[in-house]
Structure 1
Amino acid sequence: MSTLEPPSDRQTLPGMHMPAHGGATAAWRERHLLKNTLAALAAIYVVSIAAYLALAAHLAAGPGTVTTAALALLAILALVIRALPGHEHRRFGPANIITAIRASMVSFFGAAMIVGDVANGSVPPVVILLVVIALALDGIDGYLARRTRLQSAFGGRFDMEVDALLILLLSVSALLLGKAGGWVLAIGLMRYGFVLAQTVLPFLKAPLAPSFRRKLICVVQVAALCLILLPGIVPPASTAIAAIALALISYSFAADIIHLARQRFTTA
């Protein structure tokens, strides 16, 4: 029997109860998922390092950019492996692979903007292109998850956290480029503030139903922040765009908080 086959009924010992068999099958699935995930993430990491080196050479960035991007991606992938129990399938899946590739792009973008001193002038087109591709791929991973029937809470959270990190790094970049004041960081910190608020307001931990409004505003945030990175977009135009983006995301979070608060009193 192949080591990739789950335990069969014929392997059940006399007197063995069903929970034991179920536990063995679950353990096998977890091992299979871990092996499949490690193989996929290792390949993504190796290819990412090679891409980082090529991009750094193109941008004439120092070794710090590659090192920071590599460490950031490693940290993200380590968190992914830790969160694997939330993925109830035997395969990591193409959707999560796409999200991991997006995480790789986001890691290099952040390193280039913050460590690589790219923000001391105009943003190179290749850096903006990375963000645009990461944004475009955001519409693919969800489709692949549904198409392959590998949807999971893990995949949804992974995708959301990569989006949140990208928005935060774009906000930091907007500040470094002088496109808006320090208040622009509120756009990127909104998600993390919401998570922090859950520690003192437990009702915020209640699940939220999927929302087109939420997804649309997330895309608008990234698009708006990408737009103000362009050389020709300067204050007051860039400031106005950032202010609109902040107003939209504030509205979105406020709507969710009000909904959760009402839900709390309804179910109390």
Structure 2
Amino acid sequence: MTTKERSAVQAAVADGRASPALKTSALIVLGSVFAVALVGYGLAAVQLSLGRDALVAATVLLLLIFALVVNGLHHHGFDRFGLANAVTAVRAALVSMACAIVVFPDALQEAQPTVWALVVLVLVALALDGVDGHLARRFSQESELGARFDMEVDALLILCLSAAALLLDKAGAWVLLIGLMRYGFVLAQYPLPRLAGSLPPSLRRKVVCVVQVAVLCLILLPGIAPPVSSWLAALALLLLSYSFAIDCLYLLSQAEADE
């Protein structure tokens, strides 16, 4: 990026808007991922007998996610969307399909191939989870948008898996707390603005996220049934609660120190 181009990008960010080059780059990447995803969704719907509703749900969800990303491009700070965000976009496409399978659970409850397909989608999304962050650091394109995009895809995936665990009777309704905790934390920031502060990077937070996905994915397998599945889910919930408690205490203490 030339000095002139960098200045243009910085000026656009300062004005709360994305540069034309970034918009073009993002639309090309997201449009390409969306087009490929549509083909994949169609094939999955046919092979797994998911029905048109699941196909439409996955498509609409992915479109909504990408629309939110485009709306937040001014938080990126570069003139290219970047390979890291492209990988996250692929993860979003996989998670959208997984969510559609869970939202329309008839095939999920009646056919083991659908369960295995869900597990495979999750495992691929999980495998790519560390790739986007690595690429962002490798090419020096770390941004607020990229971090938020990655985090929200993770949160949606965990919510999807916790709902699947409930639908497959792997645990009680309390298992939804695993998926809803992130959103509860965001809502808690309104009555408690102190929780809206910035958190430092944390290996503990990343490990806990991976553990949640891994445990929820494990208990979805046909061979894992209650009470074992319930115990595993409960342990995952306790670990997640512990991690959120640490973050909340940190944010509250930082706010008090600033005062």
The worse-fitting range, judged by mean Cα deviation, of 111-120 and 20-29 is: 20-29
AA in 1 matched with 2:45: A
Partner Cα distance (2:108, 2:188) in 1:
32
- 1:94-109 correspondence to structure 2 within 5 Å: 94-109=83-98
User: Contact 2:115 / 2:220 at 8 angstroms: preserved in 1?
Assistant: no
* TM-score (norm. length: structure 1): 0.90
* Paired residues of 1:64 and 1:116 also in contact (CA < 8 A): no
Q: Does the 8 Å contact 2:91/2:128 carry over to 1?
A: yes
TM-score by length of 2: 0.93
Partner of 2:236: 245
Q: How far apart, in 2, do the equivalents of 1:125 and 1:22 lie?
A: 46
2:169 alignment counterpart = 178
Q: Could you tell me the percent identity over the aligned residues?
A: 49
Structure number with greater Rg is 1
Letter in 2 for 1:101: V
Which of 245, 250, 261 is the matching residue for 2:252? 261
Contact persistence 1:204–1:260 (CA under 8 A) = yes
The runs of at least 4 aligned residues of structure 1 exceeding 3 Å deviation read 4-8, 19-29, 121-124
- Stretches of structure 1 that go unaligned for 5 or more consecutive residues are 9-18
**Matching residue within 106, 109, 114 for 2:103:** 114
Answering whether residue 50 of structure 2 is matched by residue 61 of structure 1, we say yes
Unaligned segments of structure 2, at least 5 residues: none
Give, in whole Å, the separation in 2 of the partners of 1:74 and 1:25.
24
Mapping of 1:1-268 within 5 angstroms?
Answer: 23=11, 30-121=19-110, 122=112, 123-268=114-259
CA RMSD of aligned residues (A): 2.3
After superposition, give the CA deviation of every residue in 1:3-40 in whole Å (9 maximum; x if it has no partner).
x99969xxxxxxxxxx9998489899710000010011
Structure 1 residues 98, 202: closer, same or farther in 2, change over 3 A? Answer: same
Please say if residues 7 and 25 of structure 1, whose CA atoms lie closer than 8 Å, have aligned partners that are also in contact. Answer: no
The CA deviation string for residues 186-230 of structure 1, in whole angstroms up to 9 with x for no partner, is: 000000000000001011011000001000000000000000000
Q: Distance in 2 between matches of 1:167 and 1:245?
A: 11
Q: Is the 8 A contact 1:168 1:187 kept in 2?
A: yes
- CA distance in 1: counterparts of 2:230 and 2:107, whole angstroms: 20
* C-alpha distance 133-26 of structure 1, shift in aligned 2 (>3 A): same
Aligned in 2, Cα 1:6/1:262: closer, same or farther, shift over 3 Å?
closer
